[in-house]
A and B are shown apart, each in its own frame.
Chain A
């Protein structure tokens, strides 16, 4: 019996994975073909990007500050506190900036996408759109995907920048001059790290949108179904972000 159960779960997982991949392909294919749904895209960019700025800044600020605090404690015995800027930068740009801001966005935007699409499904608005001749993948999924692919790397960059500033606030307390702080950055970072710092959030953004849309469009069972699905989106996309982060890091290390 437990074997049967595990088998069913695995089959469900694999078929869902397949559905997400198919949906992604269709959504990506729609990016450059007409109609472009410009208005929809702009409103999504506003909802996904602009409205998330505050929470991403807050995340960046405190993460940067705590990173600086921890690094300083570690560096002090070696009289190496001047390297604090580089340490904050390298961890933020490569790992914490992309991952933490993506997790925030998964909670904030992924859940909203699933709730919105799910509500449209249970109130038959999606059916109504299809009857009116709309390609719903293009209108509802592609527009969100485009907005996310633009917004997510930018949000991560904002988080990194704010984190560096936050780190300096702490470092200043340890008599580290702005110049020293900045000089340590290139000692730790290389150009490839910057690419990693925008490629990761772009990929996590793709994960969030596609999972949120797939789960939202397959909602059934009324308001309760919407609630269950929202929870699923947040959990599944968060887990996928953390797991895929490991493998993407592996790939980047391979090409170093």
Chain B
């Protein structure tokens, strides 16, 4: 893949706050094509917010977000839609449209655009569902699916537009081990097809299984960026705590008890 400095997604000095609380402060993140990244952080730290900012679903208070060099802050809704075509997202709960069948969900974008014929759309929907192994679910409604199946349908829907980047918001949270394994395999399969994945999660094994580089967010800031080896060698207490919460927190807890 040709690497020009323009390619990729870049967040620079992004600040975002909601309800008087600062979620991100001077936040920087770069996503290069071909480098699969995971953003780690505890619940409520703002991981989902980062994905929504890049997609233009939320607007930052300050700072810039660029996709292949184009600043999405200056775009109207129509330009934004064009920029978003390169990116798809698998939301945490799947976010399937529950008034539509699985097939209609997967074909949603194609039906909305209305450029293709019905037979062609159905063929594509079937192909994407085949990739996640759910052809037989075509005519079911989301309410009839298990959590793991919903996420797989959401992946199929994200693929319908043939994006370059696919975002995953905690794709393995709440799944049984087989479900987790399935999702990992699907993500690796996408990477083999040349898609770039960006995942946010606190599931370390999955992060290690599917990512090249890691970003660690704590208290509104990026405190670490690097490979798995670098992360394991890092002596940041926040990361250590994240890896094995019991020892460190107990230690902290004991200290606090002594102080009082």
Give per-residue flags for A54-83: 1 if the beta carbon is below 8 A from chain B beta carbons, else 0: 000000000000000000000000000000
Taking A123-B93, A131-B84, A132-B108 as given, write out 17 further A-B residue pairs in contact, using a Cβ cutoff of 8 Å, ordered by the A residue number: A35-B114, A124-B91, A124-B93, A125-B96, A127-B55, A127-B57, A127-B91, A128-B96, A129-B97, A130-B57, A131-B87, A132-B112, A132-B161, A133-B84, A133-B109, A134-B112, A135-B77
Give which listed residue, B87, B91, B112, B113, contacts A128 with CB less than 8 A. Answer: B91
Q: Which residue on B lies nearest to A133, using beta carbons?
A: B81
Q: What is the CA–CA distance of A135 and B109 in the complex, to the nearest angstrom?
A: 12
Interface residues of A (CB under 8 A from B): 35, 123-125, 127-135
B92 within 8 A of A: yes
Chain A residues, Cβ within 8 Å of B85: 133
8 cross-chain CB contacts under 8 A? A35-B114, A123-B93, A125-B96, A127-B55, A128-B96, A131-B88, A132-B161, A133-B84
Q: What is the CA–CA distance of A128 and B88 in the complex, to the nearest angstrom?
A: 9
Q: Which residue on B lies nearest to A127, using beta carbons?
A: B57
Give which listed residue, B84, B95, B114, B161, contacts A125 with CB less than 8 A. Answer: B95
B52 within 8 A of A: yes
- Given A133-B81, A133-B113: A123 in contact with B108 (beta carbons within 8 A): no
Give per-residue flags for B31-70: 1 if the beta carbon is below 8 A from chain A beta carbons, else 0: 0000000000000000000001001010000000000000
Give which listed residue, A128, A134, A135, contacts B95 with CB less than 8 A. Answer: A128
Summed over the interface, the residue pairs from A and B with CB atoms below 8 Å come to a total of: 43
CB distance from A11 to the nearest CB of B (A): 16
CB distance from B89 to the nearest CB of A (A): 6
Interface residues of B (CB under 8 A from A): 52, 55, 57, 77, 81, 84-85, 87-89, 91-93, 95-98, 108-109, 112-114, 157, 161
Q: What is the CA–CA distance of A123 and B169 in the complex, to the nearest angstrom?
A: 13
Interchain CB contact under 8 A, B112 and A124? no
Give which listed residue, A125, A127, A133, contacts B112 with CB less than 8 A. Answer: A133
CB distance from B62 to the nearest CB of A (A): 22
Interchain CB contact under 8 A, B77 and A123? no
Give the 8 A-B residue pairs with the shortest CB-CB distance, closest first: A124-B95, A128-B95, A124-B91, A133-B81, A132-B109, A125-B95, A127-B57, A132-B108
Q: What is the CA–CA distance of A211 and B48 in the complex, to the nearest angstrom?
A: 29
Q: What is the CA–CA distance of A78 and B95 in the complex, to the nearest angstrom?
A: 67
Give which listed residue, B77, B87, B92, B114, contacts A124 with CB less than 8 A. Answer: B92
Chain B residues, Cβ within 8 Å of A131: 55, 57, 84, 87-89
Interchain CB contact under 8 A, A128 and B97? yes
CB distance from B236 to the nearest CB of A (A): 31
Q: Which residue on B lies nearest to A34, using beta carbons?
A: B114
Q: Which residue on A lies nearest to B160, using beta carbons?
A: A132
Give which listed residue, B95, B113, B157, contacts A123 with CB less than 8 A. Answer: B95
Chain A residues, Cβ within 8 Å of B108: 132
CB distance from A228 to the nearest CB of B (A): 16
Chain B residues, Cβ within 8 Å of A134: 112
Q: Which residue on B lies nearest to A130, using beta carbons?
A: B57
Chain B residues, Cβ within 8 Å of A132: 108-109, 112, 161
Chain B residues, Cβ within 8 Å of A127: 52, 55, 57, 91, 95
Interchain CB contact under 8 A, A125 and B98? yes
Q: What is the CA–CA distance of A20 and B57 in the complex, to the nearest angstrom?
A: 20
Q: What is the CA–CA distance of A129 and B91 in the complex, to the nearest angstrom?
A: 11
Q: What is the CA–CA distance of A216 and B3 in the complex, to the nearest angstrom?
A: 44
Chain A residues, Cβ within 8 Å of B114: 35
Q: What is the CA–CA distance of A35 and B93 in the complex, to the nearest angstrom?
A: 28
Q: What is the CA–CA distance of A135 and B96 in the complex, to the nearest angstrom?
A: 17
Q: What is the CA–CA distance of A125 and B109 in the complex, to the nearest angstrom?
A: 14
Q: What is the CA–CA distance of A130 and B161 in the complex, to the nearest angstrom?
A: 14
